[in-house]
């Protein structure tokens, strides 16, 4: 694997938090992942993480995704962003402790959406960081929106936008199941995992996929898939792997084959 080709690694909120709790970080998993990232020593890398039990409960309680409707939501917007910075801080702490030159980039400080879609993204600091071989770390966030006032930007939309905009070679989606299934593997025992999908096959599947088991304002697996299509269209290879299984992220970063689902344009 050419280390000069950009990789975007998504770490799912369900991997680093317990979605059945609230503000429940899995600090051992965060440390394990920081170790794997340090060991892989990939230089051209962007990390994006989800919100899990940090961002989602506040966002849902105050209906932040639906936009500004009344003043009572404002403290909810502040809170949603704040708890995401707390989760991000736990990951940054562990990465820096492991001597990974990681630098957090706050999405709400440098981008604005329009009806939930990124429409203004100041990426000068991000590009400067990559040029100096830092590893930028971003996350799903509560952001300002030109039409809605504010909304939720999912980590998945961010992954797709970053990969597309910066011509990434590959996207590694680290989730808490082994790959993409034809039904929700946490509910349906007979759910079958896809090993390889083309963009055409993915489009056909779209709409039939399993729903997430707990609250996820950003749409869970269904949302992830729809978000990644523009990147796949641009020939960026997507690998969905189980980041909860030790060494999977390390191996994927190293370019080794890991059990999972590969999605490619052709």
Least Å distance, CB 128 to its own copies, is 4
Is residue 42 at the binding interface for its own copies, with CB under 8 A as the rule? Answer: no
Is residue 266 at the binding interface for its own copies, with CB under 8 A as the rule? Answer: no
Is residue 30 at the binding interface for its own copies, with CB under 8 A as the rule? Answer: no
Rounded Cα–Cα distance for residues 251 and 39 (Å): 10
Is residue 167 at the binding interface for its own copies, with CB under 8 A as the rule? Answer: no
Interface segment toward its own copies; rule CB under 8 A; list 98-106, 158-166, 184-192, 238-246: 98-106
Is residue 67 at the binding interface for its own copies, with CB under 8 A as the rule? Answer: no
* Residue 22 main-chain phi, psi, to 5 deg: -135, 135
Rounded Cα–Cα distance for residues 172 and 48 (Å): 10
DSSP string over 132-193: TT-EEEEE-EEEEETTTEEEEE-HHHHHHHHHHHTT-SEEEEEESSSS-BSS-TTT-TT--B
Rounded Cα–Cα distance for residues 252 and 124 (Å): 28
Give the distance, in angstroms, between the CA of residue 56 and the centroid of all CA atoms in the same chain: 14
Q: Which one of 74, 186, 237, 245 is in contact with its own copies (CB under 8 A)?
A: 74
Rounded Cα–Cα distance for residues 189 and 208 (Å): 16
Q: Environment class of residue 149 by beta-carbon count within 10 Å: exposed (0-12), middle (13-18) or buried (19+)?
A: middle
User: Is the CB of 90 or the CB of 228 nearer to its own copies?
Assistant: 90
User: Is the CB of 21 or the CB of 89 nearer to its own copies?
Assistant: 89
Least Å distance, CB 138 to its own copies, is 9
Q: Which one of 5, 114, 122, 256 is in contact with its own copies (CB under 8 A)?
A: 122
User: Is the CB of 134 or the CB of 194 nearer to its own copies?
Assistant: 134
Residue ranges that bind its own copies, judged by CB under 8 A: 68, 74-75, 77-79, 81-82, 85-86, 89, 92-93, 95-96, 99-106, 108-112, 120, 122, 124-125, 128-129, 132-134, 143-144, 149-150
């Amino acid at each position: 694997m050419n280390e000069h080709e950009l990789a975007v690694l998504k770490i799912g909120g369900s991997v680093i938090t317990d979605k059945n709790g609230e503000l429940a970080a899995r600090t051992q998993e965060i440390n394990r992942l920081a170790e794997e990232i340090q060991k892989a020593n990939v230089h051209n890398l962007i990390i994006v993480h989800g919100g899990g039990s940090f961002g989602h409960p506040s966002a849902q309680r105050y209906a932040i995704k639906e936009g500004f409707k009344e003043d009572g939501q404002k403290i909810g917007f502040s809170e949603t962003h704040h708890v995401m910075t707390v989760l991000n801080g736990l990951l940054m702490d562990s990465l820096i402790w492991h001597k990974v030159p990681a630098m957090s980039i706050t999405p709400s400080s440098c981008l604005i959406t329009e009806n939930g879609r990124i429409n203004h993204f100041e990426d000068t600091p991000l590009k400067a960081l990559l040029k100096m071989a830092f590893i930028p770390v971003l996350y799903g966030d509560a952001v300002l929106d030109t039409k809605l006032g504010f909304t939720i930007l999912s980590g998945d939309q961010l992954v797709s936008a970053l990969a597309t905009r910066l011509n990434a070679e590959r996207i590694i989606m680290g989730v808490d199941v082994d790959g993409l299934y034809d039904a929700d593997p946490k509910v349906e025992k007979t759910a079958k995992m896809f090993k390889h999908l083309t963009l055409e096959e993915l489009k056909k599947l779209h709409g039939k996929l399993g729903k997430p088991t707990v609250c996820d304002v950003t749409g869970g697996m269904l949302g992830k898939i729809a978000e990644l299509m523009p990147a796949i269209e641009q020939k960026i290879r997507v690998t969905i792997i189980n980041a909860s299984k030790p060494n999977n992220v390390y191996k994927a970063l190293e370019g080794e084959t890991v059990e999972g689902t590969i999605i490619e344009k052709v």
